[in-house]
Amino acid sequence: MIKEIKSKSVLNKHKKRDSLFLEDYTLNPYLGCSFNCLYCYVNGSKYGSRIPKNLSVKINAAEVLYRQLKNRARKKEYGIIALGSATDPYLHQEKELKITRELLKIIYRFHFPLNLSTKSNLILRDMDLLKKIDESAKLPEDLATRLGKGTIITFSFSTMDNEMARIFEPAAPSPLDRLEAMAQLKTEGFLVGVCLMPILPFLSDTPDQIDFIIKTVKEFGGDFVLSGGMTLFGDQCNDSRMKYYDALAEYFPEVLTKTKAIFDNSDYPPPYYQKKISDLTSEICRKYNIKSRII
């Protein structure tokens, strides 16, 4: 059951632009997520402490965004809006609710650029609006010549293995569905890429596995691959750490002890592991002539 809520604000301004995703603003039409990814950083972390347990929709999001973007546009405070930074904007419920589609209409009306992140091929429904945003958005001056696109579309993956994805991302569209949607958007001229986050320790982090993932992204038209390691939070049954470890115990018991050892009661893997993953993905991106950053 989805809960309807009203928000006083839906657009959040960063003090400083995010260097990886290039966002100046964040926008999330939903609270909570029905894709139920076991590793989701929201579960058990400080980021999820104010998010309701049940999926909620900001029923007045379009009205509030109109007011906020009108004010920002009047001041010429143009910047990239990250749509889907905390919750996927194309949950299954979006097919009927169309909240995200209404937000895209307002983003287009006020000519703001967009970085949309999703695991869903439902994004294809809104290709018409995304194209209008791409062609009309007013980029910040320092990005205008370097980026040259008003819409960035980023598909999120932790693995390209459909069976593994069904375990860790049980309600999300399959990796193949995402890849095919990305390929279709690429043929329409969009800047598209992949957010390979989180890379799963001992499951999708070997050189051969990452090589296969990046090669596949290239074959399906991806322009970039952003990568990052896993974070695991909390010690309650519904927190990401416990849900992920329970899944490993059931499906991949051979890597459970090694995974626990890497985290060693921390929320993050150690710096040496993160550097190893970063260096490896950058090296393989160079091999396939694909960017390891958006620009």
Query: How far is 273 from 206, CA to CA, in rounded Å?
Result: 12
**pLDDT for the residue 184:** 98
pLDDT at 98 over 60: yes
pLDDT above 70 (res 33): yes
Tens-digit pLDDT profile for residues 220-234: 999 999 999 999 999
Interatomic CA distance for residues 48 and 84, integer angstroms: 15
| pLDDT the model gives residue 1 | 77
**So what's the pLDDT on residue 52?**
59
Indicate whether 207 pLDDT > 90: yes
Mean pLDDT value of segment 238-257? 97
Report H helices in 110-239: 127-136, 141-144, 162-168, 175-187, 207-219
Q: Which domains does the chain have, with CATH numbers?
A: 3-287 (3.20.20.70)
Q: What residue type is assigned to position 206 of the chain?
A: T
Q: Is the pLDDT of residue 49 over 90?
A: no
pLDDT at 157 over 80: yes
State the pLDDT at residue 41. Answer: 86
